[in-house]
Amino acid sequence: LSIVFFNWCYFTAINQLSVSLAVMLLYTSPAFVAILSYFILKEKLSLKKFFAIIVTITGCTLIAISSSGGGTSWNWGGFIIGLGAGLGYALYSIFGKLALKHYDSMTITFYTFLVASVSLAPFFHFWRKMSDFTIENHLYMIGLATVPTVLAYLLYTIGLNKVESSTAAILATMEPVAAILVGIILFKEDIVILQFIGILFILSSVFILSIKRKTKGDLSKRISKEF
């Protein structure tokens, strides 16, 4: 249900705000994950992780602004719904982490999309659009459903089993970076300076998370090996 809530909030926010602002609000999800995981999953919110979240959100904001030339529209209802998209996106990380205690990644992904499909089906009158379902459209839909949707969520769920949920949420913000690189390579799009700076911010947050603090115990072990 978190997937349904996230999608409804996200596309509603796009309708009420600008695309760039909706994307900015969506990528507040690492902050929501960090807060929720602290209270629900008892994960530690270290200074390093907090700083990585700030850097990540800044990078995503720069990329979103550059995509629209900085133009935004505003209303409080859309803003709250946009934050709801970030919360819904975060809830998948929390629920996924809890579910991994009892089920494997494939089972969680299967039931996630089964429940999401059943929940959204009453709102999509597909029989009215049957004439638009050409072979080419079917291929596009199959590709969209398998690679960037099911496969992406499956890999993310597997990742949740290996790292803390807040860390996984920060790493998932590589998505806009990947989108820019695909646009440059496949569609010959130009990269603007704000996008480049945003990419550097996001990559920096990943680097920050990868830094391991050296403890006195680690130092003594290294010295003992050398001598």
113-168 tens-digit pLDDT: 888 888 877 777 666 666 667 788 778 888 888 887 889 889 999 999 888 898 88
- CB-based contacts of 148, cutoff 8 Å, min separation 6: none
pLDDT of residue 217: 47
Task: Round to whole Å and give the CA distance between 153 and 55.
Answer: 24
Question: 24-66, pLDDT tens digit by residue?
Answer: 788 888 889 888 998 999 888 888 889 999 999 998 888 877 7
Percent of the chain having pLDDT more than 70? Answer: 84
Helix, strand, coil percentages (3-state) for the chain, rounded to 5, are 80, 0, 20
pLDDT of residue 98: 92
Average pLDDT score over the chain: 81
pLDDT of residue 61: 84
Task: Round to whole Å and give the CA distance between 164 and 60.
Answer: 21
Residue 184 pLDDT > 70, yes or no?
yes
Domain ranges for the chain, please list them.
2-219
pLDDT of residue 150: 87
Confidence of residue 91 (pLDDT cuts 50, 70, 90): very high
Q: 3-class DSSP state for residue 8?
A: helix
What are the DSSP calls for 63-101, one per residue?
HHHHHHTT-----HHHHHHHHHHHHHHHHHHHHHHHHTT
Q: What burial letters (b/e) apply to 110-143, b meaning 16+ CB within 10 Å?
A: eebbeebeeeeeeeeeeeeeeeeeeeeeeeeeee
pLDDT of residue 37: 92
pLDDT of residue 143: 86
Task: Round to whole Å and give the CA distance between 36 and 152.
Answer: 22
Whole-angstrom distance between the N-terminal and C-terminal Cα of the chain? Answer: 57
Closest to 33 in 3D by CA, of 84, 108, 89: 89
Q: Rounded to the nearest 10 degrees, what angle do helices 175-187 and 47-68 cross at?
A: 40
Total-model pTM: 0.75
